[in-house]
Amino acid sequence: MAIPLQQENEELKQRLRTFGVIMHLVRDSFGKKDIVSLGVHIVNNSRILLQFDRSVLLEMRHDRASVVAEYAVSAVNAHTEYASDMRKFAEQIVKLLPEDSSCTVVEKGGELYKRLEEKIPRVMENLFAEMRVLAVVPLRSPRNPVSVKEPFLWVMEYKGELPKHVNATLSLISGEFGNALWSHLPSSFSSNLTRYLKRITVGKVLLFLLIAFLVALFTVNVEHTVSAEFVVRSRTVHASYAWFDCVVKKCFFNDGDRIRKGEKILEYDTERMKFLLASSIAQKREAEAQYETESKDAFTNREKLGKLKVLKYKRQQADIAIEEAKWYLENSVVKAPADGILALAGGSADALSGRALHLGEKQFDLLSEKDMIAEIMVNERDASILSGTPKIVLFLHTRPEEPIQVEILSSRFYPELTESNIYSYHVKAKMLTDVSRLRYGMRGIARIRGEKVKLGYYLFRGAVLWWRGI
């Protein structure tokens, strides 16, 4: 029976529309910038032709599967159960695909299904829970021979039978999609190199690492960096010492108080000095009275003239004793020579009050707040980093997130024994970064970076010091 002309024309129009859609899909696939956008284009826009219910594109390179794109999903979540099942299914089915097949159908109860069920039973049960039919399409490229064994797999799900036109359509678009995908991947040389590296043994890797390490010992420069403790100190310190043996009567300030210039800090007990002054005044008056009496008798008795000289010297001695007592009284009050923070020698005002001080004994320090510096204690075993011009960054314990840039002022050329019983070189540095609420005695860690050294020197120097137990 002859086909009506109208029906034949309608079928021809339908085929032309289908061919136009195929040409449009293929053209757009080569315009994508990366594999992900191309995969999204394949699994979503091909549904108008192939009428699948769900579609997934997987990459099978290096014998491992990864999901590139999934139908109706904007961003692939590789941790879902469905994605995990698809990866396991793809890793097994790719071993069973013929090299010349364009589409392989997996149905529940079929031969391929039974072979896969033996290896991944739970996965097959999940994928075919609703009597699905899976169409597996390997997307290969004749331009890249690696694609024969490691193709992209395009898996489509159908609820029911596979439409008749699917195989014919896939034969037209699978090759072009394969060329588009493999055009985004490295050349065959890179792929061959990757496969070669996969065959490297543990022994070869260890030998390569050993050779690389030996070469690096003499060629690689590394940062020579050490850590050291530092303490904030005042650049200007006014130290006060006792000018004579005395007893402190009262201390007017506590340790750590801020002092203004001219304020009274200490007062000595002056009762004994007052008694000495009164005694000296009395001795002077006695000497003056005797001198006056003897001077009257000297006009008639020449022998009295010698006694007058002795009385004159006694009067001068009394004057000296009076001046000494007055000097002690005038210096019995110790005032602040400048503005600063008070650091008492006894640690507290109560400990200093009533204490007997000897000549030259320290009473207190007055620390200037206007010019704070950092005193860095560099361990003697790390002193080699001070050669040249090291760069130092400070971090206070109270503010470890704030780096403090410094400028080195001076460095002692001999080590000193610190409070930790460790010999260290002391480096004084000016803080360039403005730090608010900086107080005397604050501590922190200094990161000192010296000139670059060879990796061998850096490693073996530490090993020698460790062996010597330093």
Q: How would you write the chain as a 3-class SS string? A: CCCCHHHHHHHHHHHHHHHHHHHHHHHHHCCCCCHHHHHHHHHHHCHHHHCCCEEEEEECHHHCCEEEEECCCCCCCCCCHHHHHHHHHHHHHCCCCCCCCCCEEEECCCHHHHHHHHHCHHHHHHHCCCCEEEEEEEECCCCCHHHHCCCEEEEEEEECCCCCCHHHHHHHHHHHHHHHHHCCCCCHHHHHHHHHHHCCCHHHHHHHHHHHHHHHHHHCEECCEEEEEEEEEECCEEEEECCCCEEEEEECCCCCCEECCCCEEEEECCHHHHHHHHHHHHHHHHHHHHHHHHHHHCCCCCCHHHHHHHHHHHHHHHHHHHHHHHHHHHCCEEECCCCEEEEECCCCHHHHCCCEECCCCEEEEEECCCCEEEEEEEEHHHHHHHCCCCEEEEEECCCCCCCEEEEEEEECCCCEECCCCCEEEEEEEEECCCCCCCCCCCEEEEEEECCCEEHHHHHHHHHHHHHHCC
Residues with Cβ within 8 Å of 91's Cβ and at least 6 positions away in sequence, in order, are 60, 63, 64, 65
Is the pLDDT at 407 greater than 90? The verdict is: no
Question: Residues 158-206: pLDDT tens digits?
Answer: 988 888 888 888 888 888 888 888 888 765 555 555 655 666 778 878 8
- What is the rounded average pLDDT for all residues in the chain? 81
Is the pLDDT at 246 greater than 90? The verdict is: no
Lowest mean pLDDT among 104-108, 118-122, 145-149: 145-149
Is the pLDDT at 1 greater than 50? The verdict is: no
Question: Residues 128-142: pLDDT tens digits?
Answer: 887 679 999 999 887
The predicted structure's pLDDT at residue 186:
61
The predicted structure's pLDDT at residue 134:
92
- The model carries a pTM of 0.43
Is the pLDDT at 43 greater than 90? The verdict is: yes
The predicted structure's pLDDT at residue 305:
57
Lowest mean pLDDT among 125-129, 306-310, 340-344, 383-387: 306-310
The predicted structure's pLDDT at residue 88:
93
The predicted structure's pLDDT at residue 84:
92
The predicted structure's pLDDT at residue 281:
81
Cβ 224 vs Cβ 449: under 8 Å: yes
